Structure 1
Amino acid sequence: MKKAMASVKKSPAKDAKGGASPSEHIDARIKELGDWRGETLARIRGIIKQADPDVVEEWKWRGVPVWEHDGIICTGETYKAVVKMTFAKGASLDDPAGLFNSSLEGNTRRAIDIHESDKINEKALKALIKGAVALNTAKRSAKKKKS
């Protein structure tokens, strides 16, 4: 059952340290960065929300924003020179626009390294996100049918 709302579903989990929700941690990370990386992380977060209104935000591995829908869609890591979006099952996704430019050698993950001067192809990124959600929901449905 799809909801038409544009807000992100909040994870019910609270971080044991400080009690902040994953979404609040992501808000704080964006503010803390205070530069192009924060702006880029906020922008890709918005694109993810637009592509999948039912996305759930998580905060894992001691500080990594994670977006999930029936499994991990992608992560948003920030480094000194790059914001990295890693798609958990990226190797299984169609990428006709060629957005994947990192972690290309593996059999599972694929990543997009976004540098300060890079333009984001929102249409292609939304398609990747929707493809990742479809892959996750299909795998979940297949597991339910086996049970």
Structure 2
Amino acid sequence: MTTDWREERADEIRTLILRAEPDIAEEIKWRKPSNPGGVPTFSLDGLVCTLETYKDKIKVTFGQGASLPDPAKVFNASLTAGTRRAVDIKESDTLDADAFVDLIRAAVALNRG
């Protein structure tokens, strides 16, 4: 992760994920030379989402996002992917925290299916 605005936003996302599901587990996966810090992944009865930092955004990818209800239209990336959906958050973006928490809860419910 970084030490600029993206770190603060990533911490906000972590807080929302834990607010939604306090028992969720965070692990770092997929470490490689080009990304030595790896990718934070959040799981509870299966993968819920990943949290990646890019130069201009934070990306939260839901592995089963296409199967989740999103009435508030939080998903704004990977909308044509067969299974996954993502939320791209740029520095000036506002995230609907309650709708995001609902997505996390729906992903866990789907995992528990």
Q: Secondary structure at the match of 2:88?
A: strand
TM-score of the pair, normalised by structure 2:
0.93
- Equivalent position to 2:47, from 72, 77, 93: 72
Q: TM-score, normalised by structure 1?
A: 0.72
Partners of 2:112 and 2:64 in 1: CA distance: 12
Distance 2:63 2:55 in 1: 22
* 5+ residue gaps, structure 1: 1-28, 139-147
CA RMSD of aligned residues (A): 0.6
Question: Sequence identity of aligned pairs in percent?
Answer: 53
The alpha-carbon deviation at position 104 of structure 1 amounts to 0.9
**Residue matched to 2:34:** none
| Larger Rg over CA atoms | 1
Greater relative CO, 1 or 2 (CA 8 Å, sep 6+): 2
The partner residue of 2:28 within 38, 59, 71 is 59
Residue 83 of structure 2 corresponds to residue 114 of structure 1: no
Query: Larger strand proportion, structure 1 or 2?
Result: 2
Aligned residues: 107
2:11 corresponds to: 42
Aligned partner of residue 59 in structure 1, secondary structure: strand
Q: Partner amino acid for 2:56?
A: A
Q: How far did residue 34 of structure 1 move? A: 1.2
Q: Deviations over 1:40-67 (max 9, x none)?
A: 1000000000000110111111100000
Moved over 4 A (4+): none
Instruction: Give the Cα separation in 2 of the matches to 1:78 and 1:106.
Output: 20
Hey, which of these two has a bigger chunk of helix by percent? 1
